A and B are shown apart, each in its own frame.
Chain A
Amino acid sequence: QVQLVQSGAEVKKPGSSVRVSCRTSGGSFSTDTISWVRQAPGQGLEWMGRVIPLLRRAQYAQEFQDRVTITADEYTRTAYMELSSLRSDDTAIYFCARHHYCGADCYDALDTWGQGTVVNVSS
């Protein structure tokens, strides 16, 4: 049974950066894809991007392309999402989620989710 455990809550100033981690257990990290999804207070889900460890490749949603970096460390089975130039409207819960690798252009159902990390951006 794959489990995803995320790092703890963060409070950041506008203009700074935040890095959230997502450690996996069970399954095979190298053949997973790890996506990052965020949810602003009272709002819906928004996909930010994903990393494919097998290909050492990340893909980003256009809206976040200039500010987000998603990486993976196969040795620690941990994925990271770094968001820069933070604004107040980046205040949200950030989730990681996975599916088994099915091809470089394959987007399958996200069958396992982390518990979420609250990021609060405030001056």
Chain B
Amino acid sequence: SYELTQAPSVSVSPGQTARITCSGDPLPNQYAFWYQQKPGQAPVLVIYKDSKRPSGIPERFSGSSSGTTVTLTISGVQAEDEADYFCQSADNSGYVFGTGTKVTVL
């Protein structure tokens, strides 16, 4: 299996842009998914197939991919976006989750 590496934490002021990266060797050949998890709650899917947004997810959430790195961007961060964010991908052995990034809204 492989690892997906994320920075442990990101801090951002309200209205600014948060960028959360996830790096892993298989990412050029596999889709990535992103989940938001708030304390005491189950994860929520916010991006699928690198850059697609599920219905009900605000437009300020976007995803991109370049080589071995995928990025979740939150434009115009709001206080309610403070949460842990996990990337995820898969190979034929199953899913792998990233190490997680805690986003703090200052």
Q: Which residues of A contact B (CB under 8 A)?
A: 35, 37, 44-47, 49-50, 59-62, 95, 97, 105, 107-111, 113-116
Instruction: Evaluate contact between A45 and B100: CB separation under 8 angstroms.
Output: yes
Asked if B1 is at the interface of the complex by the 8 Å CB criterion, the answer is yes
Instruction: Evaluate contact between A111 and B54: CB separation under 8 angstroms.
Output: yes
- Measured CB to CB, the closest approach of chain B to A83, in angstroms, equals 16
Instruction: Evaluate contact between A49 and B94: CB separation under 8 angstroms.
Output: yes
Contact with A along B34-45 (1 / 0, CB 8 A): 010100001111
Most interface-central of A60, A97, A109 (chain B CB within 10 A): A109
- Report how far A61 CA is from B88 CA in the complex, Å: 14
Instruction: Evaluate contact between B99 and A44: CB separation under 8 angstroms.
Output: yes
Instruction: Evaluate contact between B86 and A44: CB separation under 8 angstroms.
Output: yes
Instruction: Evaluate contact between A110 and B45: CB separation under 8 angstroms.
Output: yes
14 contacts across the A-B interface (CB closer than 8 A)? A45-B35, A45-B43, A47-B96, A47-B97, A59-B94, A61-B1, A97-B43, A108-B48, A110-B33, A110-B45, A110-B88, A113-B42, A114-B42, A116-B42
> Which residue of chain B has the shortest Cβ distance to A60 in the bound complex?
B94
- Report how far A46 CA is from B35 CA in the complex, Å: 13
The residues of A that contact B42 with a CB separation of less than 8 Å are 95, 97, 113-116
The residues of A that contact B1 with a CB separation of less than 8 Å are 61-62
Contact of A113 among B44, B98, B100 (CB under 8 A): B44
- Measured CB to CB, the closest approach of chain B to A62, in angstroms, equals 7
- Report how far A15 CA is from B43 CA in the complex, Å: 29
- Measured CB to CB, the closest approach of chain B to A108, in angstroms, equals 7
